[in-house]
Each structure stands twice: as structure tokens, then as C-alpha cells.
Amino acid sequence: MTNQTVTTKPILVLGGTGKTGRRVAAQLRERGLEVRAASRSGKTRFDWYDESTWQPALDGAGAVYMVDMVDEPVEWNPEVSVRAFCRQAVAAGVERIVLLQARTNEEAGGKSLIGSEAEVQNSGAEWTILRPGWFAQNFDEGILLDGIRAGEVRLPAGEGLEPFIDCDDVAAVAVAALTEEGHAGKTYELSGPRLLSFGEAVEEIARATGREIRYVALSPEEYVAELVAEGVPADYAQMVADLIGQIREGKGAHISTGFKDALGHDPRDFAAFAKDAAATGVWDA
């Protein structure tokens, strides 16, 4: 493990406006590196469904942070999109790809969440795969924000435990893998340092905000019906319910060491996340 930066070419960050990509771009810029933060609305335009946007984003880039579309409510076939993108990236001179996936081998909504891995591993570029568990930022930037603001988080998670990881920590591992030696060919499973139920996580946020917020355990059927009533497509609602079901069934209830393996120190605790997020006012009702 070294701190030496090995690329001087621009680094293309897909999902550059998202929870992890935004942080990867910021941390790379802090190191003085040239970054192309790319997405449909990003400064560099990139759309997985418009191949004409790929080459301009790739021109001259030396490395790519890759976020795929598996958890978006869209059709997604990595054997087509990721394979074609990797081929184009390597032809354009990309030497290194860091791929964001998820800490599960199980399907959700009938699809694999790690289906892009083989494509990146077979791309010919150096690769590192990140498999994080549930993001702490789901509570302040993602699907749980509305519930926190409304004072009630309704999920089919039962009392299942999950070691929520901070997206700043996911980004820190991505940046190391993009810029330093010693991470090629590795798959890092990433988690926070402490197992929490969703009820306990909500309690931490309630404490940090001084507000009353409660967790309500739903059945999977109730949850899917509520999402569909809010206009969420049924197959996407089922995928999210399946993912949360994995936590309910205890499949997330283990700590992973990938963060410390990669960076040599411990990841952030959920309480630190909750304190900092509360201070921004994002959870004020």
C-alpha cells in the first residue's frame, strides 16, 4: 500500500453527481488530480443509454470509476452495456477501472447486483471491485430521507442488522484504488464498524436531531404496495423490497474488513455520520 499517485491522465467518474461519485470526484480533486465528473446532468455528459456520449467522456482518460444502472428503475444488461463500454474505454487508453457493486451474491427483483463484475474483470484493464453494504447516506440523500423528515421510516427490515457504511469511506477506497498501487485485482467488501438495526439507526438520527422519529416494520407486501401507490414501478419496488428482505433475514449481519484492508484504519461509525448530517439541517422537518 502506498500513497503514490500513478496516473497523471484525467480520471472519468461515472455517477459523478451521485452519492459516491460526487465524493470520489471531490477527493480526487483534493489530491490535485484532473477529474471528469460524468452523468446525464454532469459537467461531462455521459448517458449509459446514449453511446454517442461515451467517447467524448473517455478521450484521454487514464482511469474510470464506474457506477452502473442496476439499482435504477430501468432495463439494464451489463453483458451489453458494460462490455461495450469497457471495450471502448480500453481502446481509448483507460488502464484502470474501479467498479462499484454491492455486498450481496443474491438476486433482487430477479436480477444480480454484481452482474457487471465479470465484464470489468475481462476488460483487459486493471480492475478493483468495491462491494459495499447499505450506505448511511440512504438516510440523508437517498430513499430513506423522506421518511426521516416525516418522522416515520416504514420498511420491511424487521429487526435485521446491517453495518451501514459512509459514502465518504466508499469514496476513499475508490480513490486509493484509482490512484495508488496495490489494489489491482482485488475485490473489497466494505462495511461500517458496527451492526445496527434500522430501528437503532433511526434512534441514532432521532438523538442527533432532537426530533421524534420512529421505525415501523412492514411486511414486504405492505411495503411494495406503499411504494406502488406512490408511483414507483412495481418491479423496482419488488427489487428494493428484496434487498431489504436480505437484511431482515440476517444476511447483512456481518462486518466486512475491506475498508481497513485497503486503507489501514477503521471506517466511520454511524453516530459520526448522523451527527454531521444533522448539523447540515437536512433532516429538519
Ligand X SMILES: NC(=O)c1ccc[n+]([C@@H]2O[C@H](COP(=O)([O-])OP(=O)(O)OC[C@H]3O[C@@H](n4cnc5c(N)ncnc54)[C@H](OP(=O)(O)O)[C@@H]3O)[C@@H](O)[C@H]2O)c1
Q: Which is nearer to ligand X, 20 or 179 (CB)?
A: 20
Q: Which is nearer to ligand X, 217 or 240 (CB)?
A: 240
CB 210 → ligand X: shortest distance, Å? 26
In 3D space, the residue among 205, 174, 184, 203 whose CA is nearest the CA of residue 100 turns out to be 174
Q: Which is nearer to ligand X, 20 or 128 (CB)?
A: 20
* Residue numbers at the binding site for ligand X (CB under 6 A): 15-21, 39-42, 46-49, 67-72, 100, 102, 113, 132, 134-135, 138, 142
The residue whose Cβ lies closest to ligand X is 18
Q: Which is nearer to ligand X, 2 or 23 (CB)?
A: 23
Whether the Cβ atoms of residue 109 and residue 245 lie closer than 8 Å to each other: no
CB 4 → ligand X: shortest distance, Å? 26
CB 37 → ligand X: shortest distance, Å? 8
Kindly report the three-state secondary structure assignment for every residue of the chain: CCCCCCCCCCEEEECCCCCCHHHHHHHHHHCCCCEEEEECCCCEECECCEHHHHHHHHCCCCEEEEECCCCCCCCCCCCCHHHHHHHHHHHCCCCEEEEECCCCCCEECCEECCCCHHHHHCCCCEEEEEEECCEHHHCCCCCCHHHHHHCEEEECCCCCEECCECHHHHHHHHHHHHHCCCCCCEEEEECCCCCEEHHHHHHHHHHHHCCCCEEEECCHHHHHHHHHHCCCCHHHHHHHHHHHHHHHCCCCCCCCCHHHHHHCCCCCCHHHHHHHHHHHCCCCC
CB 10 → ligand X: shortest distance, Å? 18
Q: Which is nearer to ligand X, 180 or 189 (CB)?
A: 189
CB 201 → ligand X: shortest distance, Å? 12
CB 97 → ligand X: shortest distance, Å? 14
Instruction: Give CA–CA dist 271/106, Å, rounded.
Output: 29
Q: Which is nearer to ligand X, 6 or 111 (CB)?
A: 111
CB 141 → ligand X: shortest distance, Å? 7
Q: Which is nearer to ligand X, 174 or 224 (CB)?
A: 174
